[in-house]
Structure 1
Amino acid sequence: MKIAVIVQDGFEAFGLGVLTEVWNEPYHPEDDNPVFDFVVCTPRPGRVKGPAYDLFVDHGLEATEDADMVAVTAKRDIASPSPEVAEALRTASARGAQIFSSCSGAFILGEAGLLDGRECTTHWRYAERLQAAFPLAKVNPDVLYVDDGNILTGAGSAGGIDASLYLMRRLYGAKTAATAARRIVVPPRRDGGQQQFVRTPLGQTEADTLAPLLQWASERLDEQLSVERLAAEAHMSPRTFARRFRDETGTTPLQWLTSQRLALAEELLENSTLPVEQIATRVGFANAAAFRHHFAATRGSSPQAYRKTFSCCEEETAEQAV
């Protein structure tokens, strides 16, 4: 798989670093993850100016012509047009290449006309501006990444990690994505629908108050965890607890629990041969029907289909079924 990453003057260094870290890792004997043909390119090869340091880039946009994935990094001046880059992106998309952006890189996709009629996201700071600039786009400012056809957009720069791991998981399976995540020491998956903006800033005392409770609850997902029980464990009234929970996590207790249960269910589907009914009980759903309903609603497939696609134990499961 060939990956072409487009950089321009004012490139956002962290976004480029994310793509390099996830997709440009050389072969390691301790794992069998694929090694990609990773190329950095620019409209005019040579010196590319950055906010903190410059790059010297050998390759021009012809590198995108046979790339399986074309990624565009964010740049500081989101108002400046990039006609050559926009044309390269349009051409790549038309032949079916995967197109990827994160943060303000979405503006370049919009300039290329690739967001018209599509779901997309960007950093929450730029969401209203992106929507105003490209009114046919369907901008969702409250998610980490959006996959729409061959267009994948990530939120703020770190959202590029989540989007990259999601794409790696989709293309190469859960084991490959988990290996890459473990190497760069990040969670293997954060749901795309998770909110990117939490009102209480991390680092304030209030942001740490629920951490012990979340750990406590994550170890008891198979139990009945009502808001009243969680509030009591946190020594708060249910109303205060619900407000504090949303401020610190960006979601409700029920939504958080459902997300955690589905994440654990995914691990069990991938790494065990437990029947779906046992998994439903193990992760805290009332029954297998409720589990299947929530799984399909959020993952877009049945637990059985997910296991068939991502299971590390597929051969063992087949042997047991014989």
Structure 2
Amino acid sequence: MAGSQLNRRDFIRGTTAGAALIALGINPESVYAKDDLVKVVFLHTNDVHSRIDPFPIDGSRNQGMGGVAARSALISKIRQEEKNVLLLDAGDIFQGTPYFNFYGGELEIKMMSMMGYDAGIMGNHDFDNGVEGFYKQLPHAKFPILNANYDFSDTILNGMTDSYRIIKKDGIKVGVFGLGIELAGLVNKQQYGNTIYRDPIAKALEMERVLKLDNKCDIIVCLSHLGYKYDGPKVSDMVLAKSTNFIDLIIGGHTHTFMDRPEPIRNLMGKETLINQVGFAGINLGRIDFIFHRQNRQKITYNSDLQFIRTNFKI
């Protein structure tokens, strides 16, 4: 118990939490003993691209990195250490290794289910076997697929995905929704069929109203496969953050961007929206811890950690 409290105090000292707690009239040294705070841990991946095994030991830059076994072990370790953990994926689960060519995505979805993912979204490569191919793998998914701006009503996926989910962790209401990239010009029409792409900014504004104003969520997370940022008018996570009001965290994908830490962006309300993305191929596991005041569920601060996923090997 003493060691656990020491770790928690170190966590507070290592972030801006101490000053924030003092401003709220809370003693940083005693908050956990008094059970004043709740910590929710967000773990996340993106663009894993069927990387079931780690990269081979061949002298390449990513040798020994990634792989489901090492990721699963790391996630299990964190769950043993932390009470409130959410595991999320920002799309492009499929395509990239022979596992997808042979099994069509079944192995990837089954392993995500075994690791206990709480939600995921579809990236453009998740259409590589068509909407029918993705539909075929859904019985193996023990987690919801969230896509607010893909209208599947005239496809076999109608009713098989959700726009959002609300997940409760120790009294904290977490609202999670998903946004996908425009498919036309990126994916063959034959693969996405009659899927209709809706404007992601308009959908994001709708989702945050539903989650924040109607359902009183304490934190709103967007799983985005829009991409980190672009030159020109194309919608990206940067544009999304600046164009919305209540999103606290954007977990991104598509551009395979390796971010050492989340990037804070001011939203329309002048408040902070965090953007994060952890590369590709399951090389990294993103982690962001948010701390809330238990009594009023107010978000106080956050801490982030980028954890490399490496198998044990000798060269």
TM-score by length of 1: 0.30
Name the structure with the higher helix share: 1
Relative contact order (C-alpha < 8 Å, sep 6+): which is higher?
2
